[in-house]
Amino acid sequence: MTTTTAPPTTTSVVRFEDVHKSYGAVHAVAGLSLTLHPGETVALLGPNGAGKSSALDLLLGLRNADSGTVTLFGTSPQEAIAAGRVGAMLQSGGLMEEVRVRELVKLARDLHPRPYPVSEVLARAGITQIADRMINKLSGGQEQRVRFALATAGANDLIVLDEPTTGMDVTARQAFWATMKEQADQGRTVLFATHYLEEADAIADRVLVLYKGRLLADGTAAEIKAKAGARRISFDLDPGEHGAIDENDLRELPFLSSLSVSGTTVRIQSHDADATVHALYRAGLYPNNLEVAGLGLEQAFVALTEAEEARTA
Ligand SMILES: Nc1ncnc2c1ncn2[C@@H]1O[C@H](COP(=O)(O)OP(=O)(O)OP(=O)(O)O)[C@@H](O)[C@H]1O
């Protein structure tokens, strides 16, 4: 007789299934479904109040969902955390103040089931030089590095970071992301919420755009830019006989999603750049220094959230 075993369930790292969370009348997480896979570096973007921190709190078991399920590695967040599979660096939560950096790092790794040596944790976070300083004497950026050390004091399969580089200078930020990339290259899943869209563009291989507690877009940065659909057009115009550009002529152009005029320079966002430029010539407006380019992630993000705002208004 042959026995059949059930096929293994997909190896999801994080799974949200139709998750809702309200605070009184505020529906902070409103039917969120998503799955993260091993080895992904995922950026969580969204305007203020989109529900990013709430989603991370649910993911880490710091709050419970009103309905829907959140699982980490197929278990509850609490179980995954107790098993030492998750490291987190959150915005909130003060650090113990009356201790030295090294002592705090040692405490964190002593509590971890799969700890790294203290010297390695300190070096990775770039805080070896300040290991003997008291926590309450650190700058904001140094505190962030210590938080990062605490999140990576042991071997985690998932690292969750809520706006990790806030307060870090450019050099610290670059060093931080280089370290994070090493972690991802070792097969860890990295999920980070950020307001720095250039970080998401440069680092994440997947971008989730959250808006009013729901997933508005999910894809690579290139896919998100394409989804926003618009392109940027810029050109110079000869001022008319009145010595100024008549914006009313430009407003008539088809497929416009935004228009700004500064001196003789016109900047447009269009959903069909070819049609807009053709109409420009047809209107007898002959552009100089014409440039057409795709949107950056930041502009794509603004275009997507504005379109959703208009759709749901
Ligand atoms: N403890 C709470 N009590 C009441 N309302 C809350 C609480 N926490 C969050 N909210 C509300 O829920 C919504 C989502 O907030 P959340 O902090 O999750 O958003 P966010 O995307 O992280 O925002 P930000 O980018 O500003 O950090 C907001 O309207 C916020 O005011």
Per-residue b/e over 165-190, b at no fewer than 16 CB within 10 Å?
beebeeebbebbbebbeebbeeebbb
Mutate to test the pocket of ligand 1, among 20, 21, 23, 192 (most ligand atoms within 8 A of CB): 23
Based on the fold, state whether residues 192 and 249 are members of the same structural domain: no
pLDDT for residue 236: 93
- Whether 5 is covered by a domain: the verdict is no
* 246 shares a domain with 220: no
- What is residue 4's predicted lDDT score, i.e. its pLDDT? 46
Which residue is closest in CA terms to ligand 1's atom 2? 23
Centre of ligand 1 from the C-alpha of residue 27, in Å:
9
Same domain for 155 and 251?
no
> Does 172 lie in the same domain as 44?
yes
Q: What confidence score (pLDDT) does residue 93 get?
A: 66
Residue 310 lies in a domain: no
Whether residue 272 sits in one domain with residue 254? yes
The residue whose CA has the least distance to atom 5 of ligand 1 is 23
The closest-lying atom of ligand 1 relative to the alpha carbon of residue 210 is 21
Write down the pLDDT at residue 243.
66
The CA 60 to ligand 1 mean position distance, Å, reads: 16
Ligand 1 atom 24: residue of nearest CA: 48
Q: Are residues 149 and 271 in the same domain?
A: no
Asked if residue 102 belongs to a domain, the reply is yes
Are both 201 and 259 inside the same structural domain? no
pLDDT in tens, the chain (313 residues): 444 444 444 579 999 999 999 999 999 999 999 999 999 999 999 888 999 999 999 999 999 999 999 999 999 999 999 888 999 988 766 777 789 999 999 999 998 888 999 999 999 888 999 999 999 999 888 888 899 899 889 999 999 999 888 888 888 888 888 888 888 888 899 999 988 888 888 889 999 999 999 999 999 988 888 777 778 899 999 876 666 778 888 999 999 888 999 988 999 988 888 999 999 999 888 899 999 988 778 778 888 888 888 778 7
Domain span at 193: 14-225
pTM of the model: 0.80
Among 203, 196, 240, which residue's Cα sits nearest to residue 220? 203
Best of 20, 32, 48 for a ligand 1 pocket test (most atoms within 8 Å of beta carbon): 48
Examine the domain organization and report whether 43 and 139 are in the same domain. Answer: yes
Which CA distances in Å does 296 have to 46, 229, 230, 276?
A: 15, 11, 10, 20
Residue 285 contacts residue 251 (beta carbons within 8 Å): no
Whichever domain contains 218, its CATH number is: 3.40.50.300
Strand residue runs (E) in the chain: 14-23, 26-36, 41-45, 67-72, 86-89, 158-162, 189-193, 206-211, 214-219, 231-236, 256-262, 265-270, 288-294
Count of domains observed in the chain:
2
Q: What is the CB < 6 Å shell around ligand 1?
A: 23, 26, 28, 46, 48-54
Residue nearest to atom 31 of ligand 1 (CA): 49
Residue 240 has a pLDDT of 67
Residues 218 and 266 in one domain: no
Q: Give yes or no: residues 167 and 247 share one domain.
A: no
For ligand 1, atom 25: residue with the closest CA: 48
Instruction: Answer with the one of 225, 240, 261 that is the final residue of a domain.
Output: 225
Size of the chain, expressed as the number of residues it contains? 313
- Residue 258: CATH number of its domain: 3.30.70.980
Q: Give, using CA atoms, the residue closest to atom 3 of ligand 1.
A: 23
Residue type (1 letter), 205 = D
Please give the number of the atom of ligand 1 that sits closest to the Cα of 54: 18
Does any domain span residue 86? yes
Pocket probe mutation, ligand 1, options 53, 91, 209, max atoms within 8 Å of Cβ? 53
Assigned domain for 171 exists: yes
The reply to whether 1 falls in a domain is: no
| DSSP reduced 3-state for 302 | helix
